[in-house]
Amino acid sequence: MRRKRIGAGAALAAGALAVTGLAFAPAALAVTPQTATISADCGTFGSGEATLTATQDGTAATLTVKSSAITAPIALGEDSIASTLTLVKTGGGTVDFTGTQNPAMAAGAPVEVGPLSGTVASGDSLEAFGGSLKMTVFGITITCTATGPQSPGPFVFD
């Protein structure tokens, strides 16, 4: 009988420690949604659907943009596109995500840039509609704009 009480007591103590550990563990920050789609117009360089993927680590956030409808006009080397993605804040203002990261792309290949880095605050709600993506390749700037709100909705950062 005594062994059962000791075993039950140990189990309760271990459970209490586990719950206490969870209570004091740092909260994981997340952005929702993690992916969104937009319809984008890049002028003579193409137009169509693009996917934006967001991540967050504290106040640091990254966004990656991929589109099979918008293609590379020529073969491009890795990390050869200087990009700035400007998103519009609910309530006013904008946030820029910048970088020079991209995979190597053959002429006609789907465009992908990022991850592009930016700074966010807890509660920021950011939307691509009203902003732009500017990509500079060999001194030529290509500007893409969203033709409507992103789906399923704006990125909200914790």
Segment 130-158, tens digit of pLDDT:
999 999 999 999 999 999 999 999 999 99
Please tell me the distance from the alpha carbon of residue 131 to that of residue 55, in angstroms, as a whole number.
19
Domain assignment of residue 113, yes or no: yes
Give a yes or no: residue 14 inside a domain: no
Residue 11 lies in a domain: no
Q: How many domains does the chain have?
A: 1
Contact 118, 97 (CB under 8 A): yes
Answer yes or no: is 23 within a domain: no
Q: Which pLDDT score is estimated for 15?
A: 40
Q: Does residue 8 form part of some domain?
A: no
State the chain's mean pLDDT as an integer: 86
Helix (H, G, I), strand (E, B) or coil at 91: coil
pLDDT score at 73: 83
Three-state secondary structure along 3-51?
HHHHHHHHHHHHHHHHHHHHHHCCCCCCEECCEEEEEEECHHHCEEEEE
Domain that holds residue 91: 34-157
Supply the CATH number for residue 148's domain: 2.60.40
User: Which candidate, 75, 80, 119, 73, places its Cα nearest to that of 96?
Assistant: 119
pLDDT tens by residue, 47-74: 999 999 999 999 999 999 999 888 888 8
* pLDDT at residue 99 tops 50: yes
Q: Is 58 contained in some domain?
A: yes
Residue 118 maps to a domain? yes
The DSSP letter of residue 128 is E
Mean pLDDT, rounded, for 79-85: 97
Amino acid in position 130: G
Residue 69 maps to a domain: yes
- pLDDT score of 29: 65
